Chain A
Amino acid sequence: MSARTPLSAIALVSPVQLMIGGIIFLPAIYVFWLSLNQSSFGQAASFVGFANYAKVLGDAYFWKALVNTVIVVAVVVHVELLLGLGMALFFASGVPFRPLLLAIVLAPYAVSEVSAVVMWRFLFEPDVGMMSRLLLSLGLPPIEWAVNPSHGLAMVSLLSIWLHLPFSFIILYAARLSIPSDLYEAAAIDGASPWTSFRRVTLPLLMPALLIAALFRYIFAFRLFSEVWLMTGGGPARSTEVMAVYLYLEAFRYNAFGPAAATGWLLVLASLLLALFYLRRLYKETFARA
């Protein structure tokens, strides 16, 4: 490897680098500057130091949104990985009409958040929705997603799991298929039970894929906006807001750009922190290969 980059390579990567640099990276840095200022539309910014952070961290709605986000992310990602793993193993054990079933599993990947909200609201419409009636006939209490905050968040979680399960499933299924079958034959010859061969063969070999899927899902679930916005709008009484909804409302409804920017930077930091171990490994790999 050379220390200098050929000019033609620079030319080839520059469109991509300019796009992500100019539209994502620089604005993200600028958000940090915004977070240290007090500003609004058409108003000159004035430097206030960390006052915006103090304001955000002193806001009960911020903490409510943070707690909601952490709960929803934890539920969504872990349930999704568990279901995805179960389905991957189920598929690997041989299923009838595999290509067709695979297409069916992938179908929710094509559905927009907006349409998914329509579907799940319809299923759980109080009194008349199909699931509401099913719960009623089983003697269970109805899901009151519009009035009860924890029910609202449960609906959001359900919807998110439904939308993103195809992603987790594909990652895990591809990883499962790449495990050579002679490992299982060898385990069977050694008299391993299905459970033992799962624990000793499948799980360790799937671990890298599980970690990758978990990381990506943590980071993307943390950005959750549309599902909440369209399902509950953060209500009733701001009780179901998540971080992105809180940020949006601060910026675009309350015109509090400083606190919104501070929230934004806290979001960025949280994402970086979540991905720290992955970035470190990637950094080492990237430069070790050189």
Chain B
Amino acid sequence: MPKLLRHLLKLVGVLAIVAWSLVPIGLIAMSSFKADRDIFSTSGTFAFAPTFANYEALWSRWGDFFFGLWNSFLVTLGATVLAVGVSLLAGFAYSRFASKGLQASAFFLIFIRLIPPIVITLPLFPVVNWLGLNDTHFVLIVLYATFFVSLGTVVMRTFIDQIPRELDEAAMMDGASQMQIIAKVILPMAAQGMLAVSVFVIVYAWNEFLFAFIFTTTKAKTAPLVISEMIGAVEGVEWGVLFAASTVQLVPVLAFVILMQKHLVAGLTAGAVKG
């Protein structure tokens, strides 16, 4: 193939990939700065007078949304700390100990990922109500963390496997306890793995819809749930305000994913190869 043609084909490929990934995102981000009359105008795709009207409307009329963002933040923080913490402990155990029972429980970790989340909402819904935990941050934190601890443990084990055992043995000689070894030796060196696990949990908890939809109504309502209410608002979709909300919800997690790209890739490969 002539060189020029190859370069041309490559360029077309790159443009197609960029368009596929970015047009949907870019379009709503851009349209969130458009006045209503410009949103669907053919001439104003790029040429328009930017306005903050949609953001002002979002602020004044959908205070719920910002409350939802705050709830999302709390739930994401809680779920991440919980999931990363317990995954670190379990990952350490699976990396450093071996026994029949442990092998069986490692198998159980992976097996459990086959159960669809919606199935367990049936028995959990009445129990959560009975415990008075309905519409609390707590219930979402525990659910989100639980659905990521098995992947988290597998990823942590993969990362901890790479830390030389001699280091824990040396610390043990110095009289360090198990918890001290984890805190002083393993934790600093497993930071990469912990970041990888936290990327998964953060993206999941920040964006999750199903559990939030079933288990929260007002007090612990998360941002995606508020956006879904905006889609279904009776008076028809107010596109501009909806775009502003989607953009605000998306920007932090998008920036985070791009920043953490390396860890995301490392975690995905570690998690998928092993389990």
Contacts and interface: CB of A to CB of B under 8 A. Distances in A.
Partners in one complex: yes
Interface of A: 1-6, 8-10, 12-13, 15-17, 19-20, 23-25, 27-28, 30-31, 34, 41, 87, 90, 95-96, 99, 101-123, 125, 128-130, 133, 162, 167, 170-171, 174, 209, 212-213, 216, 219, 222-223, 225-226, 229-230, 244, 247-248, 251-252, 257, 260-261, 264-265, 267-268, 271-272, 275, 279, 282-283, 286-287, 289-290
Contact of B99 (A2, A31, A244): A2
Interface stretch (B55-63, B120-128, B188-196): B120-128
A60 B124 CA distance: 28
Contacts, number: 277
A89 to B, nearest CB: 10
26 contacts: A3-B100, A8-B93, A9-B102, A20-B109, A20-B149, A27-B119, A27-B120, A27-B122, A31-B122, A31-B123, A104-B18, A105-B21, A110-B203, A111-B254, A114-B207, A114-B227, A115-B224, A118-B242, A123-B27, A162-B24, A216-B272, A223-B118, A244-B116, A247-B122, A279-B114, A286-B107
Given A13-B89, A15-B90, A223-B117, A5 B269 contact: no
A193 B120 CA distance: 52
Contacts of A265: 119
Contact of A162 (B20, B108, B153): B20
A122 B94 contact: no
Given A101-B18, A162-B24, A271 B90 contact: no
Interface size class of B (residues with CB under 8 A): 35 or more
Q: Which 9 residue pairs spanning A and B have beta carbons closest together? A: A112-B207, A12-B93, A119-B24, A264-B119, A110-B257, A9-B97, A128-B40, A16-B90, A15-B86
A171 B269 contact: yes
Majority secondary structure, B binding face: helix
